[in-house]
Amino acid sequence: MQQASGRAWAIFVVGSAGFVLSMFYRVSLSVIAPHITKDLGLDPAQLSDLTASFFYTFAACQIPLGLVLDRVGIRWPMAGLSLVGAGAAAWFAGTGGHVDAITARALLGLGMSCGLMGPLSLFARWFPPRLFATITALLVAVGAMGQVLASTPLALLDQAVGWRHSYLIFAGINLIQAVAVLLVVRDDPPGWEPPAPAAENPLRGLGRLLRMPAYWGISLGTFCRFGCLMAVQGLWAGPFIIYGLSYSSVEAGNALLCLSVGYMVALPLSGRLSDQWLRSRKWVIAPSLLLFSAIFLSMVWWRPGMSLWWIYVGFTLLGMSNAPGQIMYAHIKELVPRQYTSTAMTGVNLYTMLGPAVFMQITGLIIKSEAGSLAGPGPFVPAWLFLAATMLGAGLVYLFIPDSRAEDS
């Protein structure tokens, strides 16, 4: 297969739509949290539980999902889980209490658990191997639009129709996407010779993966890089810029926008760098992890009165240095036999999804303050040093992982 077919690109569109929904649901509670809290009578701890339930269910599904995708196929699990997501979103829209809402959000995490791994498993079959990292990066760049939808657009929709009707609208979109999966997706392209299922017990195949040092090195890399990114983007960037550096909330929002733009722009560039220019996974990923560490270390010296442009440049580089992490899925895919492709990628994605919860909790313990009581950059310095050291360690470990290269066919 030398070039992608029309159906391959149609599959890309349908898969991207599902990933946009997944990214939307991950962060959609942020702008509607005040209304949900008031409507359901939640305290801050309960709101935190509500947010976390999505991620923990999502992460718990990854390894079982990989076994299913490798053994059963992709189309029907992907469509079925999308239907679960649509139903869970509708349930959440009509929820009446704390436990009910957590159950709905947990089911939503189950429904979205195939949003990235399903498309990646399809792309491994429908697109030339030499384009896999590029197409993966493009998928994530498109998926980032879900985060955009969960910000100002969702806030405006909430004002117009309320958060319940807003979720019902997205449940309807989710249902359409699930039907589109059934209509468009096929597991294998014409002429594809799928690898024969491994004769061994699938759990034994999982055991083989868990015994690979490279799997643990790549998992450590994605756990740290996405966890550190979310700890900043999803929690501490705003308080640091507003309370630590004495800038306005609008200026903090501009910095976060720079981070998102840097991330989205660098995704396809890093994929092309890996697939076609360097023809390497390791030597694109490892330097990016070390650059990520260096930027965190530089933030130790950020002070009130420094130029906003330096802050914007720093946050743009944070986003850009994180983008090559998506190539880790291509890296692990090329280090395992073809019959374990989905198991390997979902095994890595498990740690991608665990990272944000763990690093948000750890940095919260380090900073030990409510956002409103912070003053000056001092309270943030230990957290930046911790994140810098973490990414330095992850980058050094990655130097010892065997490289893989995009195939020509």
pLDDT score, position 100: 93
38 burial via Cβ count (<10 Å: 0-12, 13-18, 19+): exposed
Supply angle C-alpha 236, 346, 361, rounded to 5: 25
Residues 52, 64: Cα–Cα separation, whole Å? 20
pLDDT over 90 percentage in the chain: 44
Average pLDDT, the chain: 86
C-alpha 67 chain-centroid distance? 20
pLDDT tens digits, 13-69: 999 999 999 988 987 876 676 788 789 887 656 766 787 788 889 988 988 888 888
Structure pTM? 0.74
Task: Report the SS3 class of residue 336.
Answer: coil
Residues 36, 47: Cα–Cα separation, whole Å? 9
Residues 15, 121: Cα–Cα separation, whole Å? 11
pLDDT score, position 366: 86
What type of residue is 191?
G
pLDDT over 70 percentage in the chain: 90
pLDDT tens digits, 185-223: 999 888 777 666 555 555 666 787 888 999 999 999 999
Q: Is the pLDDT of residue 316 over 80?
A: yes
pLDDT tens digits, 261-310: 888 889 889 988 998 889 899 999 999 999 999 999 999 999 999 999 99
At 74, phi and psi to the nearest 5? -115, -45
Give the pair of three-digit tokens for residue 284. 């694109």
Q: Which residue has the tokens 């658990």?
A: 113
- Are 15 and 118 within 8 A, CB to CB? yes
Q: Is the pLDDT of residue 1 over 60?
A: no
- Are 336 and 212 within 8 A, CB to CB? yes
